[in-house]
Amino acid sequence: MQEIIQYLFSGITTGSIYAVIAVGLSMLYSSTELINFSHGEFVMLGAMGIVTIWVHLALPLPLAFVLTVAAVAFMGMLFERLAIRTAKKHQPITLVIITVGASILLRGVAMIIWGKDPFSVPPFSSHDSIEIAGAALVPQSLFIVVAAFILAGAIHLFFKQTLTGKAMVACAVNKKAAWLSGIPSETMGVLAFIISTGTGAAAGIFIAPITMSSYDMGTMLGLKGFCAAMIGGLGSLWGAFAGGILLGVLESLGAGLISSGLKDAIAFILLLLILYICPGGLFSAKISKRF
Amino acid sequence: MKQKKSNVFILVMAISAMLVIAPIIGASSVMAASTYKIGGIFDSTGPASFLGDPEKKTMEMMVEQINAAGGIDGQKVEAVIYDSEGDPAKAVSAVNKLLHKDNVLAIIGPSTTPTTLAIVNFVEKAKVPLISCAAGIEITSPIKPWVFKTAQSDLLAVAAIYKTMQARNIKKIGIITVANAFGESGKKQLIGQAKDFGITVVQQESFGPNDTDTTAQLTKIKSASPDAIVCWGTNPGPAVVAKNVKQLKIDIPLYQSHGVASPKFIELAGDAANGIILPTGKILVTKLLDASDVQKKILEKYEADYKAKFNINVSGFGGYSYDAMVMLANAIKGSGGDKEKIRTALEATKKYMGVTGEFNFSATDHNGLTPDAFVMVEIKDGTWKLLSK
């Protein structure tokens, strides 16, 4: 029993890491219909940024957090202006391939700037791990779970409650109709990128104390985040969130109860099963295609 | 008659012309051979760059030193180095370039077991000596005539760990290994040698090279109640394991492999590194070695040279290419550039005291090291302490 609780704890920790990444991916998809395969690299930039600004320059954590998120969001904006918008006339698949190229470029640049060694980031609070029913929980996990909740909640409110958020969704649904009703679709696109890469950076900052930061951390995280978003149903924020937690818990239970060698295999087989049974993902089965 | 005479004249002219030109041609071919070309393949970027980068730097430094001292038998040495990026396919294309385009005398590297195994058949076929800097035992067992290696095998590291455990009366262990070639090879040795030391492996787990959490695996190991845990991997995974062990409050000794024997590991694991025991090459603890240790002087010189040239601290892994380069230079001496002679001379290397340890190559041993090439250290307060033997 005690072991099961421990597996759940570690599953929820890894799961919320996947969840925050999936939320950023999903958010961009629901406002631009674009899957950004370089999202993991923006997460990496967030983690690396906090290493430089907080650990090396020793600025206070809240300031370092804001600076890092702002810098990465600015890079996201540049990415949209320079690479995505210039190719806007092309097929969506071209844009997706551009994001794959961007991920390789960002990884290479990060390797040159920060070197190849991983960096360690201290946890945000120096508390000991908390013991619940004989199982240990790391305080940083709580930070990540809470951060994932707040990010998803904030994006949810933004889309449902603000005019800008609604306009953004409108752009994704039908760009021409949105343009006819006076919504500047280009501004919306760039804003979506800024928010998405900003949340990616925030995710990177929160997970850095657990995962450590290195130039090549983004690839696997981006991929797992993508899986999580697929499980939950692309475009659904809470679906992505739940998908992330589910993937993490499945991995951890698979590793603990069956075999750690088969950990990834178990998670991915379940992903295939879920997509086979409900292709739209668990939480967006109702709408298969908008318009 | 007259006709015949002029024919003779032309013949004489032709012969004398050839005599005049021949030395020039001969000289130019000597000029071309007056450098000994040595190939290098290192994973200087990519996931194994922590191995490849210092190895490449060391080889460049050594070539510079050899040339400054007048080269080998009066011939300059030229290094042709390619980056295999940790990718076996890139290693294969690099070895083909070295063998067919650059026509090197011998090759040093690659840095990892998979990249080395990928090119072994090529050098065997081309009959060019290869001195690998990788740890995997499969490289030199079974023996391949043209393949040598300077890194200590996992076999020796496991033996060194088990010896320490035996002395501390540890009988049951749980192992957690990284899911790649390094971890698999370590797992095989850990399980294979356990019986010889009266140790049983009660639980075996693995983790992915980029895993962010290993608490599930450690919980499982904990429930099997072993006397100690052995973790086998390279950064950053083992640092995650070390942190998780502390977080789960698992109160038994944690042993790590030589794969994390670098200051980087202490930096990554932080406080969680305290009390970890691991085998390492002597270079990490040069300062702590006894003054009577014959290796100490060699290590100090290598450290000083490296620091002077690159202005960064020496890494434990560059020593593999240091030893490879020194032994190769010794073997080339007097060979006149004949690859078969170089190979024979390498195989006959005896009692060469290098950075890694004392090498004694033979027809049946192309690694030439004993478990003495490792010392056991414990991490205490962010630094290394030698364990008494």
| Residue in chain A nearest B266 by alpha carbon | A120
Q: Which residues of A224-250 are buried (b: 16+ CB within 10 A; e: fewer)?
A: bbbbbbbbbbbbbbbbbbbbbbbbbbb
B4 within some domain? no
* C-alpha dist (Å) from residue A245 to A39, A194, A229, A283: 18, 25, 11, 14
Amino acid at B63: V
- B3-7, B52-56, B377-381: least confident range: B3-7
- Does residue B170 sit in the same domain as residue B281? yes
- CA of A49 to nearest chain B CA: how many angstroms apart? 17
Cβ A260–B205 below 8 Å, yes or no? yes
B243 within some domain? yes
pLDDT, tens digit, 9 for 90 and up, residues B176-187 = 999 887 888 899
Q: What is the mean pLDDT of residues B256-262?
A: 87
pLDDT, tens digit, 9 for 90 and up, residues A108-165 = 999 899 887 788 888 888 777 787 777 788 888 888 888 888 988 898 899 889 998 8
Q: What is the mean pLDDT of each run of 10 residues along chain A (291 residues)?
A: 84 88 88 87 94 89 93 93 82 86 93 85 80 80 87 88 88 82 86 92 90 87 88 83 90 84 78 80 56 41
- Does residue B177 sit in the same domain as residue B238? yes
Residues forming beta bridges with residue B81, ordered by sequence position: B40
| Cβ count near B353 (within 10 Å) | 14
Size of interface A-B (CB pairs under 8 A): 88
pLDDT, tens digit, 9 for 90 and up, residues A4-19 = 888 888 888 889 889 9
Q: Which two tokens stand for residue A148?
A: 């994932």
B107 within some domain? yes
- Does residue B261 sit in the same domain as residue B318? no
Cβ B216–A10 below 8 Å, yes or no? yes
Q: Could you say which residues from 121 to 160 on chain B have a Cβ atom under 8 Å away from some Cβ of chain A? A: none
pLDDT band at B9 (very low <50, low <70, confident <90, very high): low
Whole-number percent of chain B with pLDDT over 90: 54
- Does residue B110 sit in the same domain as residue B42? yes
- Does residue B178 sit in the same domain as residue B207? yes
Cβ A212–B206 below 8 Å, yes or no? no
Cα separation, A37 vs B82, in Å, equals: 30
- Give the pLDDT confidence score for residue B10 in this predicted structure: 64
Amino acid at B255: Y
CATH dotted code for A2-277: 1.10.3470
For residues B94, B100, B104, B109, the Cα torsion angle rounded to the nearest 10 degrees is 20
pLDDT band at B29 (very low <50, low <70, confident <90, very high): very low
Chain A contacts of B45, Cβ < 8 Å? 111, 116
- Residues B260, B262, B266, B267, CA torsion sign: negative
CB contact set of B367 (below 8 Å; sequence gap of 6+): B140, B148, B149, B150, B152, B153
What CATH number is given to the structural domain containing B160? 3.40.50.2300
B25 within some domain? no
Choose, out of B184, B231, B247, the residue to mutate when testing the contact with A (most A CBs < 10 Å). Answer: B247
- Does residue B231 sit in the same domain as residue B304? no
Q: How many residues does chain B have?
A: 389
Among A129, A220, A252, beta carbon nearest to B216: A252
- Give the pLDDT confidence score for residue A115 in this predicted structure: 83
Residue with tokens 């006076």: A182
| Cβ count near A182 (within 10 Å) | 7
Residue with tokens 């928010």: A195
Q: What is the mean pLDDT of residues B248-276?
A: 89
- Give the pLDDT confidence score for residue B42 in this predicted structure: 94
- Does residue B114 sit in the same domain as residue B239? no
Chain B contacts of A13, Cβ < 8 Å? 213, 215
Phi, psi of A227 (to 5 degrees): -60, -45
Q: Which residues of B291-303 are buried (b: 16+ CB within 10 A; e: fewer)?
A: eeeebbebbeebb
* Helical (H) or strand (E) element with B83: strand B76-83
| CB proximity B88 to A under 8 Å | no
| CB proximity B225 to A under 8 Å | no
- Give the pLDDT confidence score for residue B12 in this predicted structure: 61
B1 within some domain? no
Q: Looking at per-residue confidence, does B49 or B351 come out higher?
A: B351
Mean pLDDT score of chain A: 85
Among B47, B206, B220, beta carbon nearest to A261: B206
The number of domains in chain B is 2
| Cβ count near B95 (within 10 Å) | 28
- The domain of B239 spans 155-286+375-386
- B10-24, B204-218, B244-258, B318-332: least confident range: B10-24
- Does residue B192 sit in the same domain as residue B272? yes
Chain B contacts of A217, Cβ < 8 Å? 210
| Cβ count near B130 (within 10 Å) | 29
B112 within some domain? yes
> Is residue B14 scored above 80 in pLDDT?
no
Q: Which two tokens stand for residue A104?
A: 């390789």
Number of H helices, E strands in chain B: 12, 14
Q: Residue B18 in contact with residue B26, Cβ under 8 Å? A: no
- Give the pLDDT confidence score for residue B6 in this predicted structure: 62
- Does residue B88 sit in the same domain as residue B217? no
| Residue in chain A nearest B220 by alpha carbon | A256
- Does residue B132 sit in the same domain as residue B201? no
pLDDT, tens digit, 9 for 90 and up, residues B135-164 = 888 888 889 999 999 998 888 999 999 999
- CA of A264 to nearest chain B CA: how many angstroms apart? 9
- Give the pLDDT confidence score for residue B322 in this predicted structure: 94
B14 within some domain? no
Cβ B213–A122 below 8 Å, yes or no? no
Cβ B247–A129 below 8 Å, yes or no? yes
